[in-house]
């Protein structure tokens, strides 16, 4: 599966070199490319933001760099308005103005990507820009004009034309360097590198990327386009069900905004050639979309076959489709059986798998009713047996009231 991430802070994504996702990348299960948006700027300060039309606080990310980035990384398909690679249909500007979204063919399963990574000649990203994200999705909109100015163009003056940081290098966990203007490296446990402007793996202006191997967008199968995900507080909620849907895609692209967000025309134009989802992590505001994208990449990546050591692990997750949908996972225990005078529930030591399964479901019902009653309200009453209902009643949840689904 291929991920392309466009950001003004490519170094934000060094965590993708470690843990399960780092191992998945090294094993060829994930093909991740991080691109510096400032690669597609043309002024001395490599500006990516400007003041908003209509006035008001904050800054807005300019459409020109974003348009060039999308053109370079996901070139428009030939012959006008093509069918989307996922079976969806592109929409015209007039349709977009009318709020018509691209549709996806029922039952269409996206085909696999022929591997390959973005070629450095396509351009990479720069640092520091303006846009926002909320719901864990896009940058903070709560900044006032003074704060925006401090983090906007003035911030850019600290970044040289080649994208190098004005500050000296910081040392990474493997003794390597982060942030030198001319090709410093951040070595991860798998040997991943963060290099600078000469166009290396992590966001140099000549086309940075994080990992991946061989070939660029031009080597992708003909007639394909990525599914573009834009973190924003005004988007649809990111859920486990949506993570499952995204995990079935061969190619996802993420646009990390900052400040007040990306000029709305960028999303409108992109919808003419690919599926675009505006997504939010929740009802809160972040300083940028990078954290949100890290969350989504991990939630999606761990669902891919071979990423987790035990494929059955995902079936018992909170919110997992099936028996755990709309339920939180209950408490878990490991050795020793007694710790600081606290014993593991005896049922878990009994070896009675049926009784253990019943106990785990009871605990999931109790925890969901206590911590997330709005989730418990979505439970399908027809899927609850007599015992389920009694557990919920004992937990003080109105099983037979109007709060239940239907």
Residues designated as active site: 233, 260, 302, 317
* Residue whose C-alpha is closest to residue 328's, from 364, 362, 274, 355: 364
Question: Is residue 211 reached through a cis peptide bond, with omega within 30 degrees of 0 on the bond before it?
Answer: no
Residues 243, 219: contact at Cβ < 8 Å?
no
Rounded Cα distance, 22 and 18, in Å: 4
Burial class (CB in 10 A: 0-12, 13-18, 19+), 342: exposed
Give the residue among 156, 178, 160 at the shortest CA–CA distance from 169. 178
Beta-carbon-side half-sphere exposure of residue 48 (alpha carbons within 13 Å): 36
Residues 280 and 233 sit within 8 Å (Cβ to Cβ) = yes
DSSP type of residue 44: T
Tokens 């009713």 correspond to 369
- C-alpha distances (whole Å) from 9 to each of 129, 145, 336 are 8, 22, 44
Report the distance separating Cα 49 and Cα 47, nearest Å: 6
> Could you tell me if 379 and 405 are in contact, meaning their C-beta atoms sit under 8 angstroms apart?
yes
Which ranges of 216-352 would DSSP assign to H, the alpha helix? 240-247, 264-270, 289-301
Contact criterion met (CB below 8 Å) for 114 and 220: yes
Residues whose CB falls within 8 Å of the CB of residue 146, separated by 6 or more in sequence, listed in order: none
């Amino acid at each position: 599966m291929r991920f392309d991430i466009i950001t003004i802070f490519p170094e934000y994504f060094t965590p993708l070199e470690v843990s399960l996702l780092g191992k998945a990348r090294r094993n060829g299960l994930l093909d991740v490319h991080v691109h510096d948006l400032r690669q597609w700027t043309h002024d001395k300060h490599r500006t990516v933001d400007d003041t908003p039309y209509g006035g008001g606080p904050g800054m807005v990310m300019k459409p020109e760099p974003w348009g060039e980035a999308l053109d370079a990384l996901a070139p428009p398909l030939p012959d006008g308005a093509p069918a989307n690679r996922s079976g969806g249909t592109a929409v015209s500007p007039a349709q977009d103005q009318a709020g018509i979204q691209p549709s996806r063919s029922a039952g269409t399963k996206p085909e696999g990507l022929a591997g390959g990574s973005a070629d450095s000649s396509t351009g990479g990203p720069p640092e520091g820009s303006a846009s926002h994200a909320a719901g864990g999705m896009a940058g903070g909109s709560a900044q006032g004009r003074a704060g925006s100015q401090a983090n906007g163009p003035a911030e850019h003056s600290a970044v040289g034309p080649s994208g190098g940081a004005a500050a000296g290098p910081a040392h990474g966990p493997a003794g390597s360097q982060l942030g030198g203007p001319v090709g410093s490296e951040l070595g991860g446990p798998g040997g991943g590198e963060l290099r600078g402007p000469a166009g290396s793996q992590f966001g140099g202006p000549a086309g940075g990327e994080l990992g991946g191997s061989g070939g660029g967008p031009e080597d992708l199968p003909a007639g394909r386009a990525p599914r573009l995900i834009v973190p924003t507080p005004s988007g649809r909620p990111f859920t486990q069900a949506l993570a499952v849907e995204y995990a079935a895609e061969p190619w996802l692209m993420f646009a990390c905004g900052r400040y007040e967000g990306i000029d709305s025309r960028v999303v409108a134009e992109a919808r003419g050639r690919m599926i675009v989802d505006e997504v939010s992590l929740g009802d809160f505001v972040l300083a940028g979309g990078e954290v949100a994208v890290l969350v989504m990449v991990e939630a999606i990546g761990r669902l891919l076959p071979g990423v987790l050591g035990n494929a059955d692990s995902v079936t018992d997750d909170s919110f997992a489709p099936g028996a755990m949908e709309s339920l939180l996972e209950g408490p878990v225990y490991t050795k020793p059986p007694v710790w600081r005078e606290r014993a593991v529930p005896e049922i878990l030591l009994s070896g009675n798998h049926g009784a253990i399964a019943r106990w785990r479901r009871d605990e999931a019902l109790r925890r969901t009713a206590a911590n997330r009653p709005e989730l418990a309200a979505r439970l399908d009453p027809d899927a609850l047996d007599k015992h389920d209902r009694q557990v919920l009643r004992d937990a003080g949840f109105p099983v037979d009231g109007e709060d239940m689904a239907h």
